[in-house]
Amino acid sequence: MSWSRNCRLFYGEKDRGAYLPVAEISRAIFQGLGFEGWVSMELFHRRMADTDAVVPKELASRGATAWAKLVRDMKLRIDEVPTDRGRVAASL
């Protein structure tokens, strides 16, 4: 449980030591099974509890980079849908 809560890196951060087979599992789902539904990506990191003002921006940036890498690596199609709050929701 400690590893699950405290030792997570974002997808594609091999330079930081990431080693979980996220690409292989994702490839099996998207290409192997042909899944074409909605996908969400949860991000967990022990620094989320830090009170340092730079933490949210840093982790959001790393999360956005991880999502972009996953989309690129899995050759996912993103349909941008405007939301009522001016944000963009993505779907596959």
Summarised one tens digit per residue, pLDDT across range 30-72 is: 999 999 888 888 877 778 778 899 998 998 899 999 999 999 9
- What is residue 92's predicted lDDT score, i.e. its pLDDT? 46
In this prediction, residue 28 carries a pLDDT of: 96
Paired tokens of 37: 């539904």
Q: Does the pLDDT value for residue 88 go beyond 60?
A: no
pLDDT digits (tens, 9 = 90+) for 69-81: 999 999 888 876 6
pLDDT above 50: residue 20: yes
Of the candidates 68, 88, 92, which has an alpha carbon nearest to the alpha carbon of residue 79?
92
Q: Distances in Å between the alpha carbon of 84 and those of 60, 87, 90? A: 21, 7, 14
Q: What is the pTM of this model?
A: 0.75
Distance, in Å, from the CA atom of 7 to the CA atom of 47, rounded to the nearest integer, reads 10
User: What pLDDT, on the 0 to 100 scale, is given for residue 68?
Assistant: 92
